[in-house]
Structure 1
Amino acid sequence: MAKGNLPAVLAETLAYEGGWSDHPSDPGGATMKGITLAVFRRYRPGASKEQLRAISADDVERIYRDGYWGPVRGDDLPEGVDLTVFDYGVNSGPSRSAKDLQRVVGATVDGKIGPATIALVKASAPRAVIKAHCARRLGFVQSLAIWNTFGKGWARRIAGIEATSLSWVSTKAQLEADAKQARSTAAAQIGSAAGTGVVGTVDQTNHLSGLPIVLVVAAFVIVAGILAIRIVINNQRAGALANAAKEA
């Protein structure tokens, strides 16, 4: 992949953005190829939902270039890192993505990617930056109130973007090792969930015996739920990484 190739990076993002969406629980409202009506109206004042739905390919690339690729300095970021930062920016805003990138590389966190941030990114191992940035992205979406509605899809997308980004900077062996590690983590979490449900329940009930039974049960439901989410996330990562390894 040629460096700074927005069309190639954009193709990966659009594969997840899909087509038309107007979900009542989505705070972004009507969306076509990841572009909200509010954003489209900056380029086409007064545009209707119907016009957004019929947006041209030229307008799509122009909006993504001006609104996301440019602000995250996509042409200056290393391969792989450019995709993770761009895709996160599309979903949650360029500033938030930039801030998490700056946190990962130890730059001043101001949401504006400048020469100092670029230098620190280039001095860092791209695989480590990609993994850490995707982990921060996942942590952010898990904190959102609508995680229960969209969480599984968000986690699947982040896993796919991470795998694709890593495939641009990794060997086949590295991708296979990444997939194996994710599978092992999921397996360990399954073991923890089993322990929580049986042995752990006995131990923790003794510890919490002074609490009402309703609170004790609620505590274990929460623990089991957290473990279940982590298992799903790592299984998604393992699958995405394994697919990337096969194609490497």
Structure 2
Amino acid sequence: MTVSREKEALARVLVHEGGYVNHPKDPGGPTNKGVTQRVYDGYRKSKGLSPRSVKDITPQEVEAIYDRQYWDAVKGDQLPAGVDYVLFDGAVNSGPGQSIKWLQRALGPLYKGGIDGVMGIGTIAAVNAVNNHDALIDRICDQRLNFLRHLKTWPTFGKGWSSRVAEVRSIGQAWATGETPQVASFVDGGQAKAFIEDAKTAPATAPADAATGAGVGGGTIAGTLQGLQDQLSPLSYASEWVGRIVVVLAVVSALLVVGGLGWRWYANRKAARLAEALSTAPA
């Protein structure tokens, strides 16, 4: 990896990030050139400098933060052309750990380790074993989009994120195939931070348990009433009345049990898909 490609990658990421924003629904809060106020405060503190608004961040500070906290975090200098940029852009938008997880999942069986978001020796070795970086970039971007769709902020920023990822995919694949990548363009909304803390929640299974329990309980009551009906059989009117209750209870109980089991299946399926999208499930 050459220093010039890091600078080219940074130039494109900065176009995607735009200038100062403070959207009320953006979990990043006040952000300038992709650097949040929190990250900027941490950087200034590490340099023994007093805090100040991220609005006043200098170009030199921007380059230093991107180099240390994003490019170096994904070990961009050790990654193939195109893959480095795709991981870099994802790290800026969702954090290095999340971006590395997308890579680890995209590597498939070539990667033998856990989905831990750490760019270790095993991850680097798996990347070096890939003979089609163009296709790898496709899979990384697919993982990223799946993650974004499972965030609560998707309805607000989904259009911008989709445009950004599409352009990142195109630029990365151009680099991977030796072509000249396009110039990046800014799309409003694409700069919003996409953190796992804003993920959707899985459906609760409590309603399923309640429905199933009620159904089983109703079935027990129906059985008891059935026994009572047998005892009242000489009294035709009372027996007929109890019989109708038994039928209603049996039907309702069956519906509750089926509904409860159905909801549990749905909730478990949604939870599994959410875990996979957020890279919290085993590969």
Aligned residue in 1 for 2:52? 48
Q: Which residue of 2 aligns with 1:189?
A: none
The answer to whether the 8 A contact 1:105-1:120 is kept is: yes
**2:177 counterpart SS class:** coil
Q: In 1, Cα distance between the equivalents of 2:2 and 2:68?
A: 20
Q: Could you tell me which residue of structure 1 aligns to residue 61 of structure 2?
A: 59
* Aligned-partner residue type, residue 42 of structure 1: G
Structure 2 CA distance for aligned equivalents of residues 38 and 171 of structure 1:
37
Structure with greater contact order relative to length (CA < 8 Å, sep ≥ 6):
2
- Report what 1:148 is aligned to: 155
* Residue pair 2:74, 2:119 contacting (<8 A) in 1 also: yes
Equivalent position amino acid for 1:12 in 2: R
Conserved 8 A contact 2:149-2:158:
yes
TM-score using structure 1 length:
0.65
Counterpart amino acid of residue 115 in structure 1: I
1:172-183 mapped onto 2 (5 Å cutoff): none
Q: Give per-residue Cα distances to partners, 1:40-64, cap 9 Å, x unaligned.
A: 0012245233xx1121111101101
**CA deviation profile, 1:149-202 (whole Å, cap 9, x unmatched):** 100000000000100011112277xxxxxxxxxxxxxxxxxxxxxxxxxxxxxx
Partner of 1:76: 78
**Residue 31 of structure 2 corresponds to which residue in structure 1?**
31
1:127-142 superposed matches below 5 A: 127-142=134-149
Matched residue, 2:121: 115
Secondary structure, counterpart of 2:100 in structure 1: helix
Aligned residues of 1:4 and 1:74 also touching (Cα < 8 A)? no
Aligned residues: 171
The structural deviation recorded for 1:85 is 0.6
Match of 1:168, SS state, is: helix
Letter in 1 for 2:6: L
Tell me how far apart the structure 2 counterparts of residues 93 and 171 of structure 1 sit (CA, whole Å).
27
Q: Matched residues in 2 for 1:111 and 1:86: separation?
A: 13
Give the match for residue 17 of structure 1. 17
Q: Are the counterparts in 2 of residues 30 and 37 from structure 1 also a CA contact under 8 Å? A: yes
CA distance in 1, matches of 2:89, 2:149: 17
Report the CA distance between 1:4 and its aligned residue: 6.8
Normalising by structure 2, report the TM-score.
0.58
Are residues 171 and 86 of structure 1, via their aligned partners in 2, closer, same or farther at CA, if it must alter by over 3 Å? closer
User: Structure 1: which 5+ runs fail to align?
Assistant: 173-248
1:134 shift after superposition: 0.4
In structure 2, what residue type is equivalent to 1:143?
A: H
The secondary structure found in structure 1 opposite 2:57 is coil
State the AA in 1 paired with 2:153.
Answer: I
**Residues in 2 aligned to 1:128 and 1:162: alpha-carbon distance in whole angstroms:** 10
